[in-house]
Amino acid sequence: MHPRHSEPYRVYERYRLFHLMTDHPDWSLRAYARELGHDPRWVRTWGRRFKTSATSDRPDMQHFASQSRRPHHTPRRVDPVLETHICALRPLLSERFHRRAGAKTIQAVLRQMRPESEPVPCPRTIYTVLKRRGVIVPRPKPVHEPLVLPPPMDEWELDFGEIYLGPDEGQFEFLLVVDRGTSRVIYLEGSHGYSAETALEAVVRLFIQYGMPKRLRMDRDPRLFGSWTRDSYPSR
């Protein structure tokens, strides 16, 4: 840790500021800050603390110690009876609205049911109550397992893509084949429109040029599973 971030150094700087203010009470905040190499806001904060706290000619070191940032008043906990009421509203409202009732929905209903003089918890507090009581179970974090890739050139992925070239050229389609193990492009060809027949011819050209892999992945594209497969079987 840097010495400037340590508590002894901070106490020393505040001690210097106190004596500088005592010796030169007519200086401005910027003058104190320039002399000590601090921000004027820091000088203003500790100057106010020196004025509000008891001071003497020889103050002890506790007078310059850092103060706790904990709030002076801890927020009141939700009444146990109200917590039970909140947990009971969750399934009732979910059934009424045919969806999972969230904290804002429960808060709106509580405002209608409780007198205006009685405070209603905020949505975050309501969610905390539901979570603490076990009404809402947090989703477990997904476990990411590493993807095991096949050996190079054992498994290919085949897919069609489209590019719109404009109103005159129209749609341009292309066939892309990628090796799953290395993500390397194996085959690429384009056409102004693939049909079931021309798509099958493109796959045949792929096999003639590069051979057949152990496995070929593809989706159920109608250009591959279209009319040529439908017409191959008699209708029932």
pLDDT in tens, 60-113: 667 788 877 766 665 667 889 999 999 999 999 999 999 999 999 999 999 999
pLDDT in tens, 189-209: 988 888 888 888 888 999 999
CB contact set of 34 (below 8 Å; sequence gap of 6+): none
pLDDT of residue 236: 44
pLDDT of residue 71: 63
Sheet with 215-217: list strands edge to edge.
185-191, 171-179, 155-164, 215-217
Model's pTM, two decimal places?
0.39
CA-to-CA distance for 155 and 117, rounded, in angstroms?
Answer: 70
> Across the chain, what does the average pLDDT equal?
84
pLDDT in tens, 146-177: 888 999 999 999 998 888 888 887 888 999 99
User: How far is Cα of residue 201 from the mean position of the Cα atoms in its chain?
Assistant: 47
